[in-house]
Amino acid sequence: MSVHVLAPGRVNLIGEHTDYTGGLVLPMAIDRFTEIRATRGGDRVHLTSLDEAEPIDLPLHIEQPNQVSPAWGRYVAGVMSEMSAATGQPVTNGLHGHVSTDIPIGAGLSSSAALEVAVALALGFEGTPLQLAQLCQRAEHRASGVPSGIMDQLAVAAGVADHALLIDCGDLTVQPVPLPAGAEIVVRFVTHRTLVGSPYAERVTQCAAAEQLIGPLRHATEAQARRIDDPIVRSRALHVVGENQRVLGFVSAITAGDLAAAGRLMIASHDSLRHQYATSTPAMDAAVAATCARPGVYGARMTGGGFGGCVVALTEPGALSTGWVVRAVNGARVVA
Ligand code: GLA
């Protein structure tokens, strides 16, 4: 039986490094896709990709997804392991086919989440978008060892055309928020990066340390965060507390059509990632500053896990000639 699956990438408009403390995020699925065309059946998963030198060829039962070679097969193996963990059985059918993508790989636009979600659907996953996202988040942990949050997989699985998604990562509710008419969202690629081996995991630990002191950051106040003695843990907590507020402010601003206010919140988010959360780089700071200096740009910020990647900007139509205008699209689906 042949199967054709599409899974979009995502860009996060605001709400960075809040998901793993049950905070608020505002991503949207974008019109860049990872696609799998394959035949279901057999007892191996064999996939080729034009973006990868080597194909992957895996048995249905895999002990250690994080040891698979070539490395892109780890995400596939992670999904297979999680699907069998969910049912107590190895995945029942193999897959033979091809993966293609126009999501830049390793650029902070969730190419790995799109691959995971596409593989799960190609293998026959059945369940809600939230269940799909949770399975793929666990697969990502198994594959990469990075203790990432739920945002990427949930945005990829649950995207809604023409809307951003206000996700409460505490209760995992997803509220579509209409994007403002008369504005563009533009993504500019700056540098490749990987979260594997980056300080991402250390940030997760620092937030846990803050929560030991003042309780869940989602419900903490700025005053509580300010009373943390350790200056590094304090600044991480201040970022998260402030960022959750900025997400709500951004949603109010775009709902009211106040794009200037929304843009200011994006700039404040970037400043906080730079100074309080220390996940930016000089190249990202320079790209954000250069983008914000252009006429017609309301605001811009680094998007995704950081240490490189892409800048996202909110602009008047046609304001930027570099980068690409992204549209919000529906989440991943089996096309045929
Ligand atoms: C990566 C992770 C997400 C999230 C962002 C930062 O994209 O996969 O879970 O933590 O970084 O907002």
CATH number at residue 28: 3.30.230.10
Q: Domain span at residue 135?
A: 2-177+329-334
- Residues 149 and 234 reside in one and the same domain: no
Question: Quick one: pLDDT at residue 38?
Answer: 98
Q: What is the pTM of this model?
A: 0.97
Question: Token pair of 217, please?
Answer: 């950051």
Distance (Å, rounded) from C-alpha 76 to C-alpha 118?
Answer: 9
Q: Which two tokens stand for residue 24?
A: 């608020």
Question: How many structural domains comprise the chain?
Answer: 2
152: annotated active-site residue: yes
Is residue 171 located within the same domain as residue 277?
no
CA angle 326, 331, 336 (to 5 degrees): 115
Chain-centre distance for alpha carbon 197? 17
The answer to whether 10 and 117 have CB atoms below 8 angstroms apart is no
| Per-residue model confidence (pLDDT) at position 89 | 77
* Cα-to-centroid distance, 212 and ligand 1 (Å): 22
Question: What does DSSP say about strands 44-49 and 95-101: parallel, antiparallel, or unpaired?
Answer: parallel
Backbone angles phi, psi at 125, to 5 degrees: -55, 140
Judge contact between 21 and 207, C-beta under 8 A: yes
Say if residue 172 is in the same domain as residue 199: no
Task: Tokens for 5, please give them.
Answer: 């699956």
Residue 304: CB atoms within 10 Å: 24
- pLDDT value for 91: 83
Domain identity same for 216 and 167: no
One domain for residues 314 and 239:
yes
Q: How far does residue 19's CA lie from ligand 1's centre (Å)?
A: 7
Please tell me which residue in 31, 51, 57, 152 is annotated as part of the active site. Answer: 152
Atom 9 in ligand 1: which residue has the minimum CA distance?
149
- Ligand 1, atom 8: nearest CA belongs to which residue? 148
Please tell me the residue having the least CA distance from ligand 1 atom 5: 305
Q: DSSP character for 125? A: -
**Residue 220 sits in the same domain as residue 296:** yes
Is the domain of 221 the same as that of 145? no
Rg of the chain on CA atoms, in Å: 20
List pocket residues of ligand 1, CB cut-off 6 Å.
Answer: 16-17, 19-20, 148-149, 151-152, 304-305
Same domain, 189 and 299: yes
| Model pLDDT, residue 6 | 98
**Ligand 1 center to 151 CA (angstroms):** 6
HSE (CB half, 13 Å, CA atoms) of 221? 3
Low-confidence ranges of the chain (pLDDT < 50): none
Which helix or strand (DSSP H or E) is residue 238 part of? helix 231-256
Which H or E element spans position 282?
helix 282-292
Mutational test site, ligand 1, from 30, 134, 151, 307, max ligand atoms within 8 Å of CB:
151
**CA 202 / ligand 1 centre spacing (Å):** 13
Report the nearest-CA residue for atom 2 of ligand 1: 148
- Do 29 and 97 fall within a single domain? yes
Indicate if 288 and 199 belong to the same structural domain.
Answer: yes
Q: Determine the atom of ligand 1 nearest the C-alpha atom of 140.
A: 8
Please, what sign has the CA dihedral across residues 226, 228, 232, 236? negative
